[in-house]
Structure 1
């Protein structure tokens, strides 16, 4: 059964590995998942606005994602393929979630002024592979408490639970260190935390959640599981 889901996919770097989203796209998604890339292959183009060093950073990041997933996912420069990701320097760091249901070109923005870090590139391409943010898992209340009163009103929807995220969790424990997790103060309207650890969960995560800047074992396993490599 297909449903229309509002998918938050746009991120603006506020530190070396903290993400905030400022845009959204409405995408059709399956309740149990998203549209995956056929043959585990993502074709891509990189806009010529990027410098040679920036282009190399993007390529190196994709190579790392391929290598760490045991070649489960391949990123291939586009030639004439009709369905592909075009990497552009627009406002912020953002991507659609999963392969576009309508096919054709789909944009992924890596703003040259704030998104050119390896963890950001990997984060956004994980969105393009179909992965949502960790804190949108339906079981997140067992691990975190969302303090909606401290969230900017226009961005409260960024913390909505996402049924697709349950499928994507692949049965793994909640991962505070995931490269797909928000920081504790993302979208804060008053400087106070927007998320704290739930009762019974170690407070060590209270200020470190969402600060991971590398793929965790959990991140890797989720990709491999969803794309049939585990």
Structure 2
């Protein structure tokens, strides 16, 4: 429902406030702003691309805090974790299992790293069956214990927060002990 989605979006904003220097406020006269709507599906553009209201679509399928964080991180400039230049050291992409015509969406070298280590627990990592044509998993983790972990949408990881803070030159850094240093 709309009220549930609004509450989840506000809780996601709180997480950004706690874990980074990123804060959100209601739009005043800003030319660039995020416009949260239910536009069929869960999606967001990557980076600031659209003046006069950049749409972020939150449907009933994606009104979970981690999913909303994922979409906001896209808007803040984050690509999927498995699109890093070093991804072949951590995952294997099964191109034969990717839906025909969508292979471009698993091309690497799109995502920046800011020298933060690869993160299987990233809220930006796609799950093992992302873009699958039905013939099996598309992403195989080199470390098998993470195969069923990738694609989590519970909350941004400590490394997600660390990279966000580096990207936006925040003065505080969130670590796994929930403390600042």
For the aligned pair, the TM-score class normalised by the smaller chain equals 0.7 to 0.9
Contact 2:47–2:78 at 8 Å: present in 1 too? yes
Structure holding more strand per residue: 1
Residue ranges of structure 1 left out of the alignment (5+ in a row): 1-49
* Aligned equivalent of 1:97, options 25, 46, 51: 46
TM, length-normalised to structure 2: 0.87
The 8 Å contact of residues 177 and 212 in structure 1, kept in 2 or not, is answered as no
Q: Does 1:67 align with 2:15?
A: no
| SS of 1:119 mapped into structure 2 | helix
1:12-27 correspondence to structure 2 within 5 Å = none
Is the aligned partner of 1:127 residue 2:69?
A: no
Is 2:65–2:153's contact at 8 Å kept on the other side of the alignment? no
Aligned length: 171
**What secondary structure is seen at the aligned counterpart in 1 of 2:55?**
strand
Please list every run of 5 or more consecutive structure 2 residues that lacks an aligned counterpart in the other structure.
Answer: 172-181
Question: CA-atom RMSD, angstroms?
Answer: 1.6
Alignment map for 1:79-90 (pairs within 5 Å): 79-90=28-39
1:115 partnered with 2:58: no
Partner of 1:229 in structure 2? Answer: 170
Corresponding position of 2:122:
178
Task: Classify the secondary structure of the residue corresponding to 2:25.
Answer: strand
Query: Are the aligned partners of 2:113 and 2:163 in contact in 1 as well (CA < 8 Å)?
Result: yes
